[in-house]
Amino acid sequence: MDFVTVTIVQLELFPPSDPSTDFDYTVRKSKRAKHVSIKIEVDGRVEIVVPPRYNCKNLPDLIAKRRDWILKNRARLLNEHQDTATDWQTTQPDKLELRWQAPLAQSTPSEIWQVSYEADSGPTLCIPLPGHGLKVRGNVDHVPTCNQVLCEWLGHKAHRELVPWLRQLSFDLDLPFKRPSVRGQKTRWASCSSSKNISLNYKLLFLPKEVVHYVLVHELCHTVHMNHSQAFWRLVDDKMPGFEPYRKILKNGWKYIPRWVEN
C-alpha cells in the first residue's frame, strides 16, 4: 500500500491520514491565496496552495474529498504528456522553433534557429551565427550541458525581446512596474512580487503571440491587485478585452515547449 509523501514549504511536515491515496503532494503557503487551491502539473505533481494562516491539519480530509477529482485530472494530464512525447525533442535539438511573434492563426513559427554542434576541448558555449543560426561548441557529447547553454541563450533572447514589450505595455496600459527579470521557472510563466518586480519565463518565446501578450498583461495587472479576485479579472478584461481564450490556451501551454527545455 502506497503512502502519501507530503512536503510543506515553510510549514511543518505532518503525516498523511489516508494511506490509500496513491499520489504525493506538496503544500505551499502563499500570501496571495484567499482560499485553498489544488494545482496539478503536467508531470503529475500535485501542489496545494493555502493562505498563510490556514490550519494544515484540515488538509487530509480535504484531499480525501477531492481524491477522485485529483486522480482523474492527474491521469488525464499524464496521458496527454505521454501522448505528445514523440513530438518533443528529448535529446539535443537541431532547431529552435519560436512562436512569440506568430499569431495563433499562423501554423508556422515566427523564428526558426538552426542548431549545430562542434566538439571542442574548451568550455561549452552557445554562439549565435548570422542568419538565425546557433553553434554549440565544447563538450557536445554531454547533452545536459548543451541544453543548458541553449536555455541560457533563450534567457538572453527573452530579456532582449520580451522585456521591451513588457515596458511598452506598461506605458500603454498605465500599469507601472519596477524591475524586470527573466528566468526558467518550472511551474510559472511569469510572476509579480509585492514590490512590483516582474519575472518572465524564457519559455514564453515558444508560445503564440496573443498568449504571450495575455501573460504580460496579466502580470502588469498584479501590480494593482496581488490576487485573483473579481477586481483583478475586471482589470485584466479592461486592459485586454476578450482575453479568456488565451487564458484557456495557456493552461495547456506546456504543449508548445520542447521537452529538452524542461530537462
What number of other Cβ atoms are within 10 A of residue 258's Cβ? 19
Distance CA 257, CA 69 (A): 26
pLDDT digits (tens, 9 = 90+) for 109-145: 999 999 999 999 889 999 999 999 999 999 999 898 9
Residue 129 domain-assigned (yes or no): yes
What CATH number did the domain enclosing 195 receive?
Answer: 3.30.2010.10
Residue 2 domain-assigned (yes or no): no
Bridge partners (DSSP) listed for residue 113: 96
Residue 100 domain-assigned (yes or no): yes
pLDDT digits (tens, 9 = 90+) for 43-72: 677 888 888 888 888 888 888 888 888 888
Does 75 share its domain with 92?
no
Domain boundary among the residues 38, 53, 82 is at 82
Does 150 share its domain with 257?
yes
pLDDT digits (tens, 9 = 90+) for 215-244: 999 999 999 999 999 999 999 999 999 999
Residue 5 domain-assigned (yes or no): no
- 81 or 24: whose pLDDT is higher? 24
pTM: 0.71
| Domain total in the chain | 2
Does 178 share its domain with 245?
yes
Does 93 share its domain with 200?
yes
* Per-residue three-class SS string for the chain: CCCCCEEEECCCCCCCCCCCCCCCEEEEECCCCCCCEEEECCCCCEEEEECCCCCHHHHHHHHHHHHHHHHHHHHHHHHHHHHCHHHCCCCCCCEEEECCCCCCCCCCCCEEEEEEEEECCCCCEEEEECCCEEEEEECCCCHHHHHHHHHHHHHHHHHHHHHHHHHHHHHHHCCCCCCEEEECCCCCCEEECCCCCEEEEHHHHHCCHHHHHHHHHHHHHCCCCCCCCHHHHHHHHHHCCCCHHHHHHHHCHHHHCCHHHHC
Give one word for 131, left, alpha or beta, with left for phi > 0 and alpha for psi -120 to 50: left
Q: What is residue 26's predicted lDDT score, i.e. its pLDDT?
A: 85
Distance CA 162, CA 80 (A): 29
Q: What is residue 221's predicted lDDT score, i.e. its pLDDT?
A: 97
Does 78 share its domain with 91?
no
pLDDT digits (tens, 9 = 90+) for 98-114: 999 999 999 899 999 99
Distance CA 49, CA 34 (A): 10
Q: What is residue 2's predicted lDDT score, i.e. its pLDDT?
A: 35
Residue 39 domain-assigned (yes or no): yes
Residue 191 domain-assigned (yes or no): yes
Q: Nine-digit cell at 145?
A: 550541458
The domain of 45 spans: 25-82
Is residue 84 scored above 60 in pLDDT?
no
Does 60 share its domain with 148?
no
Residue 232 domain-assigned (yes or no): yes
Does 70 share its domain with 179?
no
Distance CA 31, CA 44 (A): 25
Distance CA 199, CA 51 (A): 22
Mean pLDDT of the chain: 85
Does 101 share its domain with 65?
no
Q: How many CA atoms lie within 13 A of 52 on its CB side?
A: 2
Does 74 share its domain with 104?
no
* 262 exposure class (CB count in 10 Å sphere: 0-12, 13-18, 19+): middle
Residue 214 domain-assigned (yes or no): yes
